[in-house]
Amino acid sequence: MRAILTVVDSQRLDIKPQPFHVSTAQPLLEGRELCCIRQDRVLFEQQNLVLRAGELLQVAGKNGAGKSSLLRILAGLAQPDEGAVYYRQQTLAQAGAGYAADLCYIGHQSGIHEQLTALENVSFWRTASGVAAADDFTLLAKLGLAGLEDIPCRMLSAGQQRRVALARLWFVKRQLWILDEPFTALDQGAIAMLQQHFLQHLQSGGAIVLTTHQPLQITYEALTTLELVYRW
């Protein structure tokens, strides 16, 4: 019985997302000769990267190599010291709100408030993303948070908090995901589920940039790895 219920639930949740506008000829996101300097240290320079719809870009590198800085630059939160980021052949300044409306950025901090419950946090991000309210209990149950919906998030473990934060990826309709260390604190099961979800997003024409220190378990066809070298 329980198995049947789970199947029904997952069928209800796994409605195929609307395919995004896909053009394989033009890159979705492009970094041209990016340079980032922090505290007089050049993290990277002359860094080029190209991301097309349906592709996954994994940014790898040691601690302090500049992965998060690169992601913040790609998300438009920080300015590169040299070079520029292009979204559909336009600089971020030109693309403006159009770029932001296509972007879901989940940074190092999870973006959830500890005093609010999992349910309230999810519904906050639903409202913020302009997505209509839906059955959050099912979504949270799918993420392994059944029974913990009404507990303030400060009572949850780090991994469970991360799950609440990542719940957003199941309902936002954004083509480009920029995720900083999405697997931090997650257990193997959750990582596998998340990677499966990545695959779905890529298949429907989305694109993902992420940083992680863990090897990806699924072999993605369109995986590019960008290795940032730690420099002095």
Comparison of 64 and 111: residue with beta carbon closer to another protein = 111
For residue 142, the minimal CB distance to another protein (Å) is: 22
Q: Are 78 and 71 in contact (CB under 8 A)?
A: no
Query: Which one of 64, 84, 91, 107 is in contact with another protein (CB under 8 A)?
Result: 107
Helix (H), strand (E) at residue 51: strand 41-51
| 113 near another protein (CB under 8 A) | yes
CA 47 to chain centre: 21
3-state secondary structure 191-232: HHHHHHHHHHHHHCCCEEEEECCCCCCCCCCCEEEEEECCCC
| 134 near another protein (CB under 8 A) | no
Q: Are 43 and 209 in contact (CB under 8 A)?
A: no
Stretch that binds another protein, among 8-16, 85-93, 128-136, 186-194 (CB under 8 A): 128-136
φ, ψ for residue 90 (rounded to 5)?
-120, 145
Query: Which one of 58, 69, 110, 175 is in contact with another protein (CB under 8 A)?
Result: 110
Close Cβ partners of 131 (under 8 Å, ≥ 6 residues apart):
171, 172, 173
φ, ψ for residue 20 (rounded to 5)?
-85, 165
Interaction pattern, residues 157-186, with another protein; x per rule: CB under 8 A: -----------------x---x--------
| 124 near another protein (CB under 8 A) | yes
Stretch that binds another protein, among 8-16, 39-47, 72-80, 208-216 (CB under 8 A): 72-80
Per CB under 8 A, residues contacting another protein are 75-79, 97, 100-101, 103-116, 120, 123-124, 127-130, 152, 174, 178
